Structure 1
Amino acid sequence: MSSNLLKLRPRFEPAVGGVFLVLWLVGEAGRGYGGSGLFVLIAIAAAMAISRVLPVVALAVVASVTLLQVVGLILPPVSTMWPVNLGVLFVAFVVAHEAPKRVAYAALILGVPLSACAGYLLGTRLNRWTGRGADANEIMSFITTSLITLGLYAGAWAIGFALRASLRELRALRLLRTTTEQLDSVEVELMLAHERDRIARDVHDVLAHSLAVVIAQADGARFASVAKPQLTDAAFHAISDAARAALIDVRTLIEGLREEPGDTPQPGLADLDLLFVQLGATGMTVDARHFGDAKAMTPAQELAVYRIVQESLTNSLRHSGGKPSARLSFDWRGPGLALTVTSRGDVGGPQSTGGGHGIRGMKDRARLAGGWLTAGASEEPESEFVVTLFLPTGVERAVEPAQSGAGA
């Protein structure tokens, strides 16, 4: 319905002007006021019709008609047709409501000379029309008529201008409401995107590690089945344990989506030893050293450390060739945990995980936990890949280093 009204809005002023003209023509039919009286009626009706699209022209028309009546070139107001000039009030209303502000203010100023002209044209004639005769005080009649006309003109202009301000405020409120709704929608989309990214990182970390262990054990069992058949049984046990752990982790993630956050326990620093044992069963050498006394960390920080270590060692297992090895350094002597994971293997191995949810996911985890992470090949002659993590353990937040490392 509102859209239909908006479509009809441009036709309002022409319709009012047309109705105004037709009603006066019907009402004054047969009185024979001549061509000048008809000219005044048509001119004012036309000014009303174009007052929205051509406000300056409409004001010029009503001013010109009034001036021609004052100088006597056209018929002045008569006893039955003088209300035709009240069409000027409609022009003042529309111009104040629709026209640019400078035109609207010019229309208000124009009301002063128009009211004075109306006082001149109607003052003495009102005395005769009302039976007071020519002896009445023409100056008082002029002043009274001018003030009444000016009051009517200013009132019509003020109503139009007030309606203009009200509509502008309504548009601003509508725009504000629309913008707020759009921002709320964007916020929901961002939250969903963040949640999807978190789930993707968790699934990647769990499955990438577990499948790497399974692949390493399966390859070891396949090669050892001929030379050392007794080792295959242990390898199959390790494969079974890794697959079962992966299944449990994935089920835990899925259950976590159905429950409130925090209902499902997450791995932390205490689970790193089990991770090292699991990787050691694949033939990987893991050397972890601690410097200083461990400090308390939040559950989110412990989870970030666990996942970053898991991802780093999984990369080493997948890309380091036949003898995977990694050195871990946990340094607690500063304002937080400084962790370094150095893995030795073929050049171009771990670097290849820079896309997807590998190193990028580790950096995101570090940033969300309040720290920073760098990853890239070392400058040593040996083919080594170094991951460096820092997480503050106090209230202060870490500042990212100028060099963010390779493999972002």
Structure 2
Amino acid sequence: MSSTPTAARALLEPAIAVVYLTLWTVAEIGRISDPLGLSMMIVIAIAIALGRIRPLASLCIVGLLLLLQLATVMQPPESTTWPAYFGIMIVIFLVARHGSGRLPWVALALGIPIAAIIAFLMVIPSWVSPSGWTSWTGQGRDTSGVDEAFVVAALVAFGLYAGAWAAGVALRVYIVQQRSNALLNQTSAELGRAENELTLVKERDRIAREVHDVLAHSLSVVIAQADGARFISAAKPDATRAALEAISDAARSSLIDVRTFIEGLREESGDEPQPTLSDLEALIARVEAAGLDVEVQNFGPAKSMTPAQQLALFRIVQECLTNALRHAGRAAPTRISFDWRGPGLALTVSSRCDSERRPVDDLPGVPAPTGTGHGIRGMKDRARLAGGWLTAGASDGPDAEFLVTVFLPTGADAIEPRSPLAELTA
């Protein structure tokens, strides 16, 4: 697909040469009796055609043309053919555009002698053109003003020559810059793809590491307990029952952690530290500072919860408090109850509507829930993934309250009684 544009570009200069020679042939019909009268145009057309593939040869052809005209081997320009020299400007443009190494600078340096020769051939009366410039104006052999005419012709010729050279160099620089930008964009795209692949590899490693951390300990406990129960089942049935309960707890805890972790891959970054029970105190303090009246009740000693369950509990409480601010108002009393006395944590959050209402988005210091699971549906999903359940709804009556009830299973071992959660009610 890319060979077609390249071939078309290679034919551009020969096409220009054909057009150049055709126009001059049409222009000189009836004025040139000798076919050699078009020799200058033919030579310049050849130089144009070779400008892309052989820029050095094109420059040499131009120089040889002018030398042969000085030596009267080729016909010099006349009053109607001197504009053919504009073809030399096309050649210089191509040499500056396609020449490599020092060739463009050599071409620029040759501009001075080339301009001087062109001015000499056009203006100065000599063995080449006895009448010179004056023959074009009908002044015969009048040589007055020849010096001024030569200087003007040389300066104009060199100005056109330098302008064509500068245009070729500018186009060359522009194309090189465009190619460099394209290469840079391609390299950036490749680096971006490589970075994405590296990120995916790192993410796979992180997932493998997380799954290993979640399952390795629990499965080791399950295996040890299962082997022990198998050997002592007949002699000690009570010990067997305890071992089976331990296996059940370990398996359930691992299942909760894995399900929550996999769900979290869709909504959590995974690289940031996740909130735990110890962060609830700061969360409630920030909400109280925003104007919400929060009452916390804690029944029984707090028990151990897995990191996944602690994250789910934090997000649920955060969502409840945010909804209380958003829907009930900043002065609406809210009550949070942590009941650890059963086989798990029973959490209730109730809020009563108040006449003073202010949108939560206007309250400074109140953190908005993160992730994609906002609202009651998101809280239910979090509770379910943590192994529990959640209900939410408004109560009937004049003192209508919105009540959220959550149950999350916990382990048998209690944590320190003076944990941050216990200090909320101290």
The two structures have a TM-score, normalised by structure 2, of 0.59
Using the alignment, how far apart are the partners of 1:7 and 1:246 within structure 2?
67
CA contact (8 A) 1:256 1:264 kept: no
Using the alignment, how far apart are the partners of 1:128 and 1:108 within structure 2?
31
In structure 2, give the amino acid aligned to 1:180.
S
How far the C-alpha of 1:201 sits from its partner, in A, is 0.5
Using the alignment, how far apart are the partners of 1:267 and 1:170 within structure 2?
57
How far the C-alpha of 1:100 sits from its partner, in A, is 1.2
1:8-407 matched pairs, under 5 angstroms? 8-124=8-124, 125-135=132-142, 136-261=144-269, 264-265=274-275
What residue in structure 2 maps to residue 303 of structure 1?
none
How far the C-alpha of 1:94 sits from its partner, in A, is 1.0
How far the C-alpha of 1:7 sits from its partner, in A, is 4.7
Partner deviation per Cα, 1:196-219 (whole Å, 9 max, x = no partner) = 211111012212222222122111
What secondary structure, in the 3-state scheme, does the structure 1 residue paired with 2:265 have? helix
Which structure has the highest helix share of the two? Answer: 1
Using the alignment, how far apart are the partners of 1:3 and 1:192 within structure 2?
37
What residue in structure 2 maps to residue 337 of structure 1?
none
What secondary structure, in the 3-state scheme, does the structure 1 residue paired with 2:48 have? helix
Partner deviation per Cα, 1:284-303 (whole Å, 9 max, x = no partner) = xxxxxxxxxxxxxxxxxxxx
How far the C-alpha of 1:39 sits from its partner, in A, is 2.5
How far the C-alpha of 1:52 sits from its partner, in A, is 1.2
Using the alignment, how far apart are the partners of 1:200 and 1:207 within structure 2?
11
Identity in percent? 48
What secondary structure, in the 3-state scheme, does the structure 1 residue paired with 2:141 have? coil
Using the alignment, how far apart are the partners of 1:151 and 1:132 within structure 2?
27
Cα distance change of structure 1 residues 75 and 56 upon mapping to structure 2, 3 Å threshold: same
How far the C-alpha of 1:2 sits from its partner, in A, is 9.6
In structure 1, give the amino acid aligned to 2:137.
T
Moved more, 19-28 or 109-118: 19-28
CA contact (8 A) 2:97 2:171 kept: yes
In structure 2, give the amino acid aligned to 1:165.
V
Partner deviation per Cα, 1:174-216 (whole Å, 9 max, x = no partner) = 3333333333333333223222211111012212222222122
How far the C-alpha of 1:274 sits from its partner, in A, is 7.4
How far the C-alpha of 1:3 sits from its partner, in A, is 8.6
Moved more, 109-118 or 26-35: 26-35
Partner deviation per Cα, 1:301-345 (whole Å, 9 max, x = no partner) = xxxxxxxxxxxxxxxxxxxxxxxxxxxxxxxxxxxxxxxxxxxxx
How far the C-alpha of 1:66 sits from its partner, in A, is 0.7
Structure 2 gaps, min length 5: 125-131, 279-302, 306-426
Using the alignment, how far apart are the partners of 1:108 and 1:259 within structure 2?
65
**Larger RCO (alpha carbons 8 Å, 6+ apart):** 2
How far the C-alpha of 1:235 sits from its partner, in A, is 1.4
Using the alignment, how far apart are the partners of 2:112 and 2:94 within structure 1?
18
CA contact (8 A) 1:221 1:236 kept: yes
In structure 2, give the amino acid aligned to 1:183.
L
How far the C-alpha of 1:265 sits from its partner, in A, is 4.5
CA contact (8 A) 2:39 2:75 kept: no
What residue in structure 1 maps to residue 350 of structure 2?
none
Using the alignment, how far apart are the partners of 2:2 and 2:168 within structure 1?
21
CA contact (8 A) 1:207 1:246 kept: yes
Using the alignment, how far apart are the partners of 1:55 and 1:266 within structure 2?
75
How far the C-alpha of 1:226 sits from its partner, in A, is 3.0
CA contact (8 A) 1:252 1:264 kept: no
Cα distance change of structure 1 residues 2 and 133 upon mapping to structure 2, 3 Å threshold: farther
